[in-house]
Amino acid sequence: MDTFILLIRLARPHFLFGGIVLYVLGTGIAHYLGFVIEWDVFFIGLIWGLMVQLSTHFLNEYFDAPADMDNKNRTPFTGGSGTIGPGKLPRATAFWGAVTTLAVAASLTVLLIQVADPNPVTLLYMLLIFLAAFFYAVPPVRLEASGYGELTTSILVAHLVPGFAFLLYSGELHRLLAMSTFPLVLMSMAMLLAFELPDFANDFKHNKRTLMVRIGWQAGMRTHNLLIFTSFAMLTLAAFLGLPIGIILPALLPLPLALLQIWNVNRIAAGAKPNWTSFTLTAVVLFFSTAYLLAVSFWIR
């Protein structure tokens, strides 16, 4: 039973909810525009995306294991799962988890091609999702430790995943997709910068060149605040570019939470003792509540 619990923790399933929400957002935009949702295609595409996401979790655990074992500021969202090491799971478990999930994703790719007959644009999005997810953790590219991982991951999660879901039905891109997902890309980057604050000292010690390490914690905090402000400004601007106000207004409800997060960052910068679990949880709730409210708005209109 202990081994089973460690395996579940290794997969970090709570992160999968984000992938589901963003996938549902893309499908919701297609539904809003009048495309018929084929549920066999929906579930095959969803499981394919989750398998790719799980493979990234496992690969990240495998290649980050030495640094993660030395992390003293682990939270449910940062510092790895904490399941690899002496008396826990062997490091190879993460490797074979990645192999298994990638094999399942490859099989689902063949099935999806047979069922949905995706066009070249959809296949390109699938390829970009795989490449961004795989090379996020795998050397020699290892985007996670390059300073560019935050941007590529945010584009992957907040645009490519909903874009893939949307393209399964539409076959072509639409301005509503861009107006809905581009603000989420910036909000996702802010969330990842928030994740990197508790790990800053450990990442610096192990020469893990995250964006926060590359630009420094002070500049990183300012960037975090600017990204949150700009993301909500883009959502507001979208009202003047054709995104219905009935979809935008619910997405602006988390604005007080955004202001709270900016306030917390300023307090930490001024020397206040942080509660890292609460801080990272707020970052997660801010991003995914905004994505969720956008998704629900498209589905019910």
| Structure confidence at residue 12 (pLDDT) | 87
Q: Do 80 and 71 touch, CB atoms closer than 8 A?
A: yes
| Structure confidence at residue 70 (pLDDT) | 66
**What would the pLDDT profile of 201-220 be if each residue is shown by its tens digit?**
777 777 777 888 888 889 99
Mean pLDDT of 261-286: 92
Determine what percent of the chain is predicted with pLDDT higher than 90: 66
Amino acid at 111: L
State the sign of the Cα–Cα–Cα–Cα dihedral 284, 161, 224, 80.
positive
| Structure confidence at residue 179 (pLDDT) | 95
Q: Do 41 and 112 touch, CB atoms closer than 8 A?
A: yes
Q: CATH number of the domain that 11 lies in?
A: 1.10.600
The CA distance from 172 to 139, in Å, is 33
Mean pLDDT of 29-44: 96
| Structure confidence at residue 68 (pLDDT) | 67
Range of the domain at 62: 2-300
b/e for 214-245, b at 16 or more Cβ within 10 A? eeebeebbebbbebbebbbebbeebeeeebee
| Structure confidence at residue 128 (pLDDT) | 96
Tokens of 42: 């929906």
Q: Residue by residue, what is the 3-state secondary structure of 248-265?
A: HHHHCCCHHHHHHHHHHH
The CA distance from 184 to 180, in Å, is 7
Arithmetic mean of pLDDT over the chain: 90
Partners of 84 in the β-ladder: 89
Whether pLDDT at 35 is above 60: yes
| Structure confidence at residue 23 (pLDDT) | 97
**What would the pLDDT profile of 79-136 be if each residue is shown by its tens digit?**
677 788 777 888 899 999 999 999 999 999 999 999 999 999 999 999 999 999 999 8
Partners of 89 in the β-ladder: 84
Q: Residue by residue, what is the 3-state secondary structure of the chain?
A: CHHHHHHHHHHCHHHHHHHHHHHHHHHHHHHHCCCCCCHHHHHHHHHHHHHHHHHHHHHHHHHHHHHHCCCCCCCCCCCCCCCECCCCECHHHHHHHHHHHHHHHHHHHHHHHHHHCCCHHHHHHHHHHHHHHHHHHCCCCCHHHCCCHHHHHHHHHHHHHHHHHHHHHHCCCCHHHHHHHHHHHHHHHHHHHHHHCCCHHHHHHCCCCCHHHHHCHHHHHHHHHHHHHHHHHHHHHHCCCCCCHHHHHHHCCCHHHHHHHHHHHHHHHCCCCCCHHHHHHHHHHHHHHHHHHHHHHHHHC
Partners of 213 in the β-ladder: none
Radius of gyration of the chain (CA): 19
Tell which residue, 207, 67, 82, has the closest CA to residue 145: 207
Split into its structural domains, the chain has a count of 1
Whether pLDDT at 142 is above 60: yes
